[in-house]
Amino acid sequence: MSEPAAYICARLFDGEAMHEDAALLVLDGLVAGHCAASAVPDGYASENLGDGILAPGLVDLQVNGGGGLMLGDAETLDDIARICKAHLPLGTTAMTPTLITDTRETTRRIVELGIAAAENTVAGFQGLHLEGPHLSASRKGAHDAGLIRPMDDDDSALYLKAADRLPSLMMTVAPETVTSAQITMLSNAGIHVSLGHTGAGYDRCRQAAEAGAACVTHLFNAMSPLQHREPGLVGTALDLGSLSAGLIADGLHVDPVAIRIALKSKTGPGSIFLVTDAMSQTGTDVTTFTLGERKIFRQDGKLTLADGTLAGADIDLPASVRFLVDRIGVDLETALAMATSIPADVINRPVGRLKTGRAADFVLFNGPDLGVKRVWLGGRSQ
């Protein structure tokens, strides 16, 4: 057992609301509550963190890699831990490593590694996100069109096994490549079905949502746009309260005007949350790396293939929150929720909130610019 600790800070965001001059109480690696800075209970050792902002550890549901490694190249449990660890100094304490479209063999290997990561409680690991291979080649983005394919019985058996043994499983599918029955099967198994990389129209996307899809992958990118006679997946996402949506907020993937319009359209249930779509470069200073056999170039905060196609993003969650506040005009509490409690709720995991009984995973920001000063996992400073 560890000594009870109280972390006093100028502002404490608990995942839903901001508290001034507050103290976070931690006992045995768990959150024991929070209180006014002047009302710390007897027996708690206090540490004053100064003028910063204390918040839940950040939650990222679309992380393709980190530390110089793409998830598809992972071969061992240590590789999974390496990817998760690369994001920890950036404040991300919970994530679903993401496998983009790959071979059957690679998908099976990553599922098995993910199960092992869950069984061995790899720090930060909250499940997997399989982004493909059941997508539309017409909206492939940086995915390898040669590996995109329909879902068959062998695939279904693997996904159902994964859903049974992983903390969470998210799957991105294109509505035109899977049936409503398949979406219902996946959803009923507890899989978080997300729609993306699709050219499908509104009617088909709505049918997919009614069949059980509950999310949209990187809103606006690699999907049918909102047009005045065909709203597409963008229109479906903004219209249906049942659909949550991930958003890459780097100013490159989505124009600020489009972000503002989306945020005005999506309130309450089915909210927008932040994702990084991070690639292997996270946590490194490399300027080029490979995706399969294709070279990706890193320059001026942008990742592209040789033909200029965006290939993931070169941004972290604190910078994404800062972009929303500074460029979009989102209030800090809402922006922080989009990187903590909202994505945690999307996958139904007990993270993203500083709530009594939850793991004491939290981050100290240095102030309005949201630079990460310290990170704690299970109440231990990293």
Under the banding of pLDDT at 50, 70 and 90, the label for residue 311 is low
The percent of residues in the chain predicted with pLDDT above 90, rounded, is 85
Q: Is the pLDDT of residue 339 over 70?
A: yes
Under the banding of pLDDT at 50, 70 and 90, the label for residue 3 is confident
Over the chain, what is the mean pLDDT? 93
CB 375 within 8 A of CB 363: yes
12 has which bridge partners? 19, 54
277 is catalytic: yes
- Residues with Cβ within 8 Å of residue 175, at least 6 apart in sequence: 183, 195, 198, 200, 204, 205, 207, 208, 213, 233
Helix H, strand E, coil C: the string for the chain is CCCCEEEEEEEEECCCCEEEEEEEEEECCEEEEEEEHHHCCCCCEEEECCCCEEEECEEEEEECEECCEEHHHCCCHHHHHHHHHHHHHHCEEEEEEEEECCCHHHHHHHHHHHHHHHHCCCCCECCEEEECCCCCHHHCCCCCHHHCCCCCHHHHHHHHHHHHHCCCEEEEECCCCCCHHHHHHHHHCCCEEEECCECCCHHHHHHHHHHCCCEECCCCCCECCCCCCCCHHHHHHHHCCCCEEEECCCCCCCCHHHHHHHHHHCCCCCCEEECCCECCCCCCCCCEEEECCEEEEEECCEEECCCCCECCECCCHHHHHHHHHHHHCCCHHHHHHCCCHHHHHHCCCCCCCCCCCCECCEEEECCCCCCEEEEEECCEEC
Q: Is the pLDDT of residue 2 over 80?
A: no
More confident residue, 243 or 314: 243
Q: What is the mean pLDDT of residues 279-306?
A: 72
- What angle do helix axes 232-239 and 256-265 make, rounded to 10 degrees? 40
Q: What is the mean pLDDT of residues 203-217?
A: 98
Q: Is the pLDDT of residue 313 over 90?
A: no
Which of the following CATH numbers is that of domain 5-56+354-381: 1.10.150.530, 2.30.40.10, 1.10.1200.10, 3.40.50.10330?
A: 2.30.40.10
Give me the catalytic one of 144, 239, 250, 277.
277
Which pLDDT score, from 0 to 100, does residue 367 have? 81
Which pLDDT score, from 0 to 100, does residue 95 have? 98
More confident residue, 115 or 288: 115
Which pLDDT score, from 0 to 100, does residue 117 have? 98
The percent of residues in the chain predicted with pLDDT above 70, rounded, is 95
Which pLDDT score, from 0 to 100, does residue 294 have? 75
Q: What is the distance between the alpha carbons of residues 79 and 96, in angstroms, rounded to a whole number?
A: 14
Q: What is the mean pLDDT of residues 50-70?
A: 95
Q: Is the pLDDT of residue 147 over 80?
A: yes
100: left (phi over 0), alpha (psi -120 to 50) or beta: beta
Pairing of strands 192-195, 128-131: unpaired
| Domain layout of the chain by residue ranges | 5-56+354-381, 58-346
Provide CATH code, domain 58-346.
3.20.20.140
Residue among 271, 261, 263, 220 at smallest CA distance from 241 = 271
Among the residue ranges 33-47, 73-87, 306-320, the one predicted with the least confidence is 306-320
Which pLDDT score, from 0 to 100, does residue 133 have? 98
Which pLDDT score, from 0 to 100, does residue 285 have? 72
Q: Is the pLDDT of residue 268 over 70?
A: no
Q: What are phi and psi of 229, to 5 degrees?
A: -110, -10
pTM for this model (two decimals) = 0.94
Which pLDDT score, from 0 to 100, does residue 72 have? 95
Q: What is the distance between the alpha carbons of residues 353 and 344, in angstroms, rounded to a whole number?
A: 8
Per residue in 97-142, pLDDT (tens digit) is 999 999 999 999 999 999 999 999 999 999 999 999 999 999 998 8
Q: What is the mean pLDDT of residues 289-296?
A: 72
Which pLDDT score, from 0 to 100, does residue 269 have? 58
Which pLDDT score, from 0 to 100, does residue 168 have? 98
